[in-house]
Amino acid sequence: MKAKDVLKKLNKDVAIEDQFKIASELPDDYFITEYISTGNPYMDYKINGGFPLGRFVLLAGGEGSAKTSIALKTGSNIQKRGKFLVYFDGEGTVDESYLTRFNIDKSLLIHHKGTNLEFMLDSAEELSKADDVGMIVIDSIPSFVSTVLEEKSASDNSMAVEARKYNARMPIIYGNCIRRDIILVGITFYKLDPKALGDPRKLPRGEWQKYMSSLTLEFSKKEKNIMYDNSGELVGVSLDVWVKKSKQHKADAKKPFKINFYYDFGYDVFDDYAELFEELGLISKSGSWYTLPDGEKVQGIPKVAEYLELNPEITEKLYEQSRHIASSKKNGESVIEDNGGIQGVEN
């Protein structure tokens, strides 16, 4: 018996998406990973293009580190493809202001507010079978509670119950997402284990999160990085972002990069372009001083961003150069999404 005969036997009565196929008979783009932009051109560059389709993305960080906002902003981009964004809101965070700020299309949003773990897992599994779903977000993984624990007293609670349930069901959900190019996003935070050797930070609800993820981003907000306007009003935060794991490209897990996040609208793309152009060598830097394309020297990224906003033609030219440089670094595929031209503030 030959291999092709075995394949025919294996593929009999099997759904098309689960059948074995010979690589040469697959579509040309079968092995190419596609990405959805986060809306931030600098972060897209640092993480190889955005969130990878059909992969599990883990966002970890403390309170107020913009994890929910970044998930929603990326979700709004998946909606532009006519796909549904499914949001399991275990923390009850998402409200009208979030939907407005990040341009969420309500006609392509499936939102559930609740904390029952079994219901969430059952629902996520069914929705992961839908061809018109583009992203499923679990916010947050530790906030969902098993029915078993709900029926016990606090003294009887054991987190191992929920970890086992996640371990049993998430591979099934993830398998469905892989088949249909659905981005699966888990939002979580660390807990400290004083008895741990080495890093005391542990992910509640099981280590499966580390092993299953294709991309793990860690966000940190520091008080010194809080941003205020000229009147002293709180407007945003500068976040440190670590690429703790990436199966799509090499990343230094110990070296963070910074992004600015504004509470009213998310990203200001001119901040992001300034960081991107400087990193790619299109704008030179010496200490805290930057040399602009016209030879003028300014101090600090905000001044560079201001110049870029006031000179859209120059910004457009630098942007195209950045896409070319990024493309050459990724074997001809750009890691910066073509936005059809400079759009101004990314709302």
pLDDT, tens digit (0-9, with 9 covering 90-100), for 20-77 = 888 888 888 888 889 999 989 999 999 988 999 999 999 999 888 889 999 999 999 9
Q: What is the mean pLDDT of the chain?
A: 87
pTM, two decimal places:
0.87
Please check whether the two domains, 37-267 and 269-333, share a CATH topology. Answer: no
| Residue in 54, 129, 162, 46 with CA at minimum distance from that of residue 70 | 46
Q: What is the pLDDT of residues 127-173, one digit of tens each?
A: 999 999 999 999 999 999 998 765 555 544 556 888 999 999 999 99
Kindly list the domain boundaries of the chain, sorted by start residue.
37-267, 269-333
E strand spans, 3-62: 35-36, 51-52, 56-61
Per the CB < 8 A criterion, the answer to whether 182 and 124 are in contact is no
% residues pLDDT > 90 (the chain): 54
Instruction: Cite the beta strand spans of the chain per DSSP E.
Output: 35-36, 51-52, 56-61, 84-89, 109-113, 133-139, 183-188, 191-192, 201-202, 215-228, 234-246, 257-262, 284-286, 289-291, 297-299
pLDDT band at residue 338 using 50, 70 and 90 as cut-offs: low
Percent of the chain surpassing pLDDT 70: 89
Q: Give the Cα separation of 286 and 291 in Å (integer).
A: 8
Q: What is the CATH number of domain 37-267?
A: 3.40.50.300
Which among 341, 322, 310 has a CA at the least distance from the CA of 282? 322
- Are the C-beta atoms of residues 241 and 217 closer than 8 Å to each other? yes
Q: What sign has the CA pseudo-torsion 336, 108, 144, 131?
A: negative
Is 121 buried (19+), middle (13-18) or exposed (0-12) by CB count in 10 A?
A: buried
Measure the CA–CA gap between 317 and 340, rounded to whole angstroms: 13
Residues 6+ positions from 185 with CB-CB distance below 8 Å: 51, 56, 57, 58, 59, 71, 74, 135, 136, 137, 138
Tokens 């559930």 correspond to 112
- The CATH topology of domain 269-333 is Rec A Protein; domain 2 (3.30.250)
